[in-house]
Amino acid sequence: MPLFKEELRSFIRSMLDEDIGRGDITTLATIPADATLKAEMNARETMVIAGIDIAEKIIHTVDPAIKVEIMAQDGIEVTAGNVIMTLDGNARNILTAERSALNLLQHLSGIATLTKTYVKEIEHTQCRLLDTRKTIPTYRKLAKYASKMGGAMNHRMRLDDGILIKDNHIASVGSVKAAVIAAKNYGSDASTIGITVECDTLDQALDAVNAGADRLLLDNMTNDMLSEAVTKYKGKVKLEASGGVTLETIKSIAETGVDYISVGRITQSAPAVDIGLDYKV
């Protein structure tokens, strides 16, 4: 589970408050209080599941008595027509919980599904796909959990998770060397978590290696530049390619020999997958 118990409880309560407001007046007006129904959540396209246990907890927050059976676990790829969850219980409560549970499951499964598509393009190499901090605010833990379900490797969760010296840091202090020295002198964190330097050019990469960086983020470099960096520095420092990576380009980037490729769009731009809740007579 990507959230701690209290985090999850607060998140679900907030989600339900947002959707339900003072009450589901359409359901209250049209559905008898004692009516029951059975329903299935169905995949309407091929997808990787992420968030199924949270969807169940959303439903049980509305009504603990609803019988829920999970048919597909997180990280599993299913095809169109697969049943991923069944529900049986009070009709009003199932209808009230439906949208919040589906929204969460569709969004997280969308991230996992897009991530898996990228992972498949590079699985013949030793390169690993990384996610980034490009996430919807307050959804970071969930988004990174979903990308992990799709096969990515989680990168920095927060700014305190790693030292990443970027172009603006370098511009502010005057040079790559000055930035790395300052990071090394900051405290014990530098030696524990390592120092990554964003490099736009091979000259910056050389400066970073000479200054003692542990990892190079090779930003928007051509494949020829990446290959040269691999030839010169692989084994000395970890090499991460980033910047404008697409499904059409990730394979050739991975084949240069870099250790990692980070892709912001897997958490920033993943479309929701199509999951339907179909009622059984």
**DSSP 3-state assignment of 238?**
strand
Where does CATH 3.20.20.70 sit in the chain? 119-268
**DSSP 3-state assignment of 75?**
coil
Task: Report whether 67 contacts 94 (CB < 8 A).
Answer: no
The Cα angle at residue 141 between residues 9 and 199, in degrees rounded to 5 = 165
Task: Report whether 156 contacts 133 (CB < 8 A).
Answer: yes
pLDDT of residue 162: 86
**Confidence label for 150 from pLDDT (cuts 50, 70 and 90):** very high
pLDDT of residue 99: 96
Half-sphere exposure of 190 (CA within 13 A, CB side): 14
Question: Distance between CA atoms of 129 and 257, rounded to whole angstroms?
Answer: 13
User: For residue range 86-127, what is the model confidence (pLDDT) as tens digits?
Assistant: 999 999 999 999 999 999 999 999 999 999 999 999 999 999
Say which amino acid occupies 257.
G
pLDDT of residue 188: 61
User: For residue range 197-254, what is the model confidence (pLDDT) as tens digits?
Assistant: 999 999 999 999 999 999 999 999 999 999 999 999 999 999 999 998 999 999 999 9
- Locate 18 and state its tokens: 């947002």
Question: Distance between CA atoms of 196 and 24, rounded to whole angstroms?
Answer: 50
pLDDT of residue 118: 98
Return the CATH superfamily for domain 5-118+270-280.
Quinolinate phosphoribosyl transferase, N-terminal domain (3.90.1170.20)
Where does CATH 3.90.1170.20 sit in the chain? 5-118+270-280
Q: Where are the alpha helices (DSSP H) in 84-166?
A: 91-122, 140-149
Provide the β-strand partners of residue 164: 196
- Locate 140 and state its tokens: 């970071």
**Confidence label for 281 from pLDDT (cuts 50, 70 and 90):** low
Whether residue 185 is predicted with pLDDT greater than 90 in this model: the reply is no
Q: What is the DSSP letter of 248?
A: T
CATH no. of 119-268: 3.20.20.70
Residues recognised as catalytic: 99, 134, 166, 198, 219
Q: What is the DSSP letter of 126?
A: S
